Amino acid sequence: MSPLPIAQLQIQEPGGGDSCVARNGFCPEWIVDNIDRYWTPLLEHVYLTVAPVLIGFAISMALAIWAHRRRWLTGPIIAVSGVFFAIPSVAAFFLLQPITGLGYTTAMVALVSYTLLIIFRNITDGLRNVPAETRDAALGQGLTERQVLFRVELPMAVPEIMAGLRIATSTTVGLAALAVFAGAGGLGSEILVDKRFKSNVVVAGGLAVLLAAAFDLMILGLQRTMTPWRRARA
Amino acid sequence: MSDRPDRSSAQPLEFREATKRYPGTDTPAVDGLSLEVPAGEICVLVGPSGCGKTTAMRMVNRMIEITSGDILLGGRSVKDRKTAELRREIGYVIQHIGLFPHWTIGENIATVPKLQGWDKPRIDQRVVELLELIGLPPETRNRYPSQLSGGQRQRVGVARALAADPPVMLMDEPFGAIDPINRERLQNEFLRLQAELRKTIIFVTHDIDEAIKMGDRIAILQEGGKLAQYAPPAELLMYPASRFVEDFVGSDRALKRLALQRVRDIDLWTAAAIRTGTPVAEAREKIEEADVPYAMLVDEHGRPKGWLSDRALTGERVTEELRSPAQPLVELDDVLRDALADLLSSETRYGAVVDHKGALAGVLSLEVIQHFLHAAPAASPTGADLLSE
């Protein structure tokens, strides 16, 4: 990737606060005038976060249910997803390009692989934390294994699963800022357009932080509505 | 209760050489267990830890598969049934209760009815009915298990097991995690409930006192899953079949038998009941006929006032001169163990026994109790009989 021309933004955007821009300060006027340019990267970033987390959640859930029936699978799954997790993200974005090319697919494959370890481990922990007597009571009353899993164990594991989703989402918002190296856009591309211009970096970076916070609150809210029993006290 | 349309009748349960052997172990966990539990009775499985009592119970609803032999529920082998279907027909209460924390009390109670596909109005009605049965207010149904006390949770556990009106219930140390005072209350409550419901129950405990209290019949198991003795409580206490049983029921088994009996159950001695002003000759005649050489002065309703002294019988007519008050005073409905305690803590040899109107009904003495303990039990009363009166 060729280095982008520096100070391109200043040239392209003649509007407001020239001296501030020239000094490379923090320029609210410039931000107000140029905020529109960030919407598309922001939406890309939302997509680059939501899609990998959802796909990662689906894969992790399937793996966790599989490993719940066959306990011996848990170790190998954690080992493999641990290897994915250990690959530096920028390296992954470049390494995948010969296979998946430049663009969304590459970013998606890498980002999904990072969520697996976090979400899988949390689902597995949640299922394991269901007390033995609860399982015993469920089976003893005539719930089938499948009913025990879907009506008792998974609902009881919701707090752990949601905790996993929160970590995975925050992590993915951060990693998606690097997806620009895979040619997938996002707020990272906007940072890279002029990484020396403070106002630009602050807005693009700030939006990423706000995005992470917003997702976190949304998942927390979802968790609370899903687990009214956790808040019920005598 | 009797107008409940969905009430199914209890069914007999039979262990037939039921054996559980885990692979890689020398001794079986349960070894050729054979016993019959008549419909509507509580059979307590009791024994030291590792005797296989819980294993034996769990074979009934096939939470543990039978290695050899069979268990028949209502004459039908449990091995021929689909496990989930079988379990829905067997009430299941365990020590840690295992309520589902993410479900309300109402949803917890409705577990099995929902699995059996009852419609909502019927489930709602049943939940309310069961909450009333276990003495919890109807609004409890909307609360979560974490909002209830241990005792309340245990009651809900029992209600949940009763929800689909199963003919058989399995109870594994159901009161084991409850403090002694509440345990006693829950035991009594449950026995009252059982007097109405008459379920066939397998009740597992390690506590011989609980076994004696709860059981119509007690199966004592010993290490290696062998049945040491299967008998009603009184018989077990009277005639322990082996040294093991004798040790297990404890050296105070005589006292335990007394805890199963009421004063009215034994042959009391008679005492002359004399009123003031009775001719002395007539009084002396009465004393001659009675078992006790002393006479009891009674009022016009026959209520004991005190033991007459010899001086009261020296004149023409009986005067009101007492040697000692009518203490201790024992009621016919008192449990024998308590009556014995009264007797031991008083200074007299005789305890006046009165009926529910307070009139003299007989005399209790240490000899009477001793005689009772050495005689064979005519009937075999159980803890439940004591409560139902």
Give the three-class secondary structure for A205. Answer: helix
Looking at A28-37, B92-101, B117-126, which range is the least confident one? A28-37
Q: Which pLDDT band, with edges at 50, 70 and 90, does B29 fall under?
A: very high
- pLDDT given for residue B116 in this prediction: 94
CA atoms within 13 A on the CB side of B387: 20
- Integer Cα distance of B364 and B49 in angstroms: 40
- pLDDT given for residue A215 in this prediction: 96
- pLDDT given for residue B3 in this prediction: 41
Contacts 24+ apart (CB under 8 A), A121-125: A121/A78, A121/A164, A122/A160, A122/A161, A122/A163, A122/A164, A122/A165, A122/A167, A123/A60, A123/A61, A123/A64, A123/A157, A123/A160, A123/A161, A123/A164, A124/A64, A124/A67, A124/A68, A124/A74, A125/A157, A125/A160
- Integer Cα distance of B76 and A125 in angstroms: 41
- pLDDT given for residue A233 in this prediction: 67
Residue B96: which of A133, A156, A227 has the nearest Cβ? A133
- pLDDT given for residue A147 in this prediction: 96
- pLDDT given for residue B379 in this prediction: 57
- In chain B, the residue whose alpha carbon lies closest to the alpha carbon of A134 is B98
- Are B144 and A232 a contacting pair at CB < 8 A? yes
Query: For residue B95, what are the contacts with CB-CB under 8 A and spacing of at least 6?
Result: A133, B172, B173, B174, B176, B177
For residue B236, CA distances in Å to B31, B32, B241 come to: 21, 21, 8
Q: Using the predicted structure, report yes or no on whether residue B382 has a pLDDT greater than 80.
A: no
- pLDDT given for residue A231 in this prediction: 84
- Chain mean pLDDT for chain B: 89
Residues B67, B28: contact at Cβ < 8 Å? yes
Q: Which of B63, B90, B87 is nearest to B165 (CA)?
A: B90
Substitution target in A133, A136, A141, A151 with the highest count of B β-carbons within 10 Å is A141
Task: Considering only residues A96 and A14, tell me which one the structure prediction assigns the higher pLDDT.
Answer: A96
Q: Using the predicted structure, report yes or no on whether residue A176 has a pLDDT greater than 70.
A: yes
% chain B with pLDDT above 70: 94
pLDDT tens string B291-333: 998 899 999 999 999 999 988 888 888 888 888 888 888 998 8
- Are B86 and A147 a contacting pair at CB < 8 A? no
pLDDT tens string A105-115: 888 999 999 99
Q: Which pLDDT band, with edges at 50, 70 and 90, does B387 fall under?
A: low
- pLDDT given for residue A129 in this prediction: 95
The full set of domain ranges for chain A reads 38-225
Looking at B116-120, B321-325, B360-364, which range is the least confident one? B321-325
Chain A positions contacting chain B at CB under 8 Å are 131, 133-144, 147, 152, 155-156, 158, 227-229, 232-234
- pLDDT given for residue B334 in this prediction: 86
- pLDDT given for residue A6 in this prediction: 43
Q: Using the predicted structure, report yes or no on whether residue A7 has a pLDDT greater than 80.
A: no
Residue B102: which of A133, A156, A234 has the nearest Cβ? A156
Looking at B113-122, B214-223, B244-253, which range is the least confident one? B244-253
What residues in A contact B88, CB-CB < 8 Å? Answer: 141-142
Q: Using the predicted structure, report yes or no on whether residue B70 has a pLDDT greater than 90.
A: yes
Residues B316, B280: contact at Cβ < 8 Å? yes
Chain B positions contacting chain A at CB under 8 Å are 61, 63, 83-89, 92, 94-104, 111-112, 115, 143-144, 146-148, 160-161, 170
Query: For residue B12, what are the contacts with CB-CB under 8 A and spacing of at least 6?
Result: B36, B37, B38, B39, B74, B75, B200
pLDDT tens string B153-164: 999 999 999 999
DSSP bridge pairs for B317:
B279
Question: Token pair for residue A189?
Answer: 């591309």
- Integer Cα distance of B22 and B37 in angstroms: 26
- pLDDT given for residue A204 in this prediction: 87
- Integer Cα distance of A213 and A215 in angstroms: 6
Enclosing H/E stretch for B53: helix B53-60
CB pairs under 8 A between A and B: 78
What residues in A contact B115, CB-CB < 8 Å? Answer: 141-143, 147
Superfamily (CATH) of domain A38-225: MetI-like (1.10.3720.10)
Question: Token pair for residue B141?
Answer: 């149904």
- Are A141 and B87 a contacting pair at CB < 8 A? yes
pLDDT tens string A24-47: 878 888 888 888 888 888 999 999
- Are B148 and A152 a contacting pair at CB < 8 A? no
- Are A141 and B86 a contacting pair at CB < 8 A? no
- pLDDT given for residue A48 in this prediction: 92
Residue A141: which of B88, B101, B147 has the nearest Cβ? B88
- pLDDT given for residue A18 in this prediction: 65
Q: Which pLDDT band, with edges at 50, 70 and 90, does A186 fall under?
A: confident
Alpha-carbon torsion (B32, B35, B40, B42), positive or negative? negative
Q: Which pLDDT band, with edges at 50, 70 and 90, does A104 fall under?
A: confident
- pLDDT given for residue A4 in this prediction: 44
Residue-range domains of chain B with CATH: 13-258 (3.40.50.300), 263-374 (3.10.580.10)
- pLDDT given for residue B378 in this prediction: 56
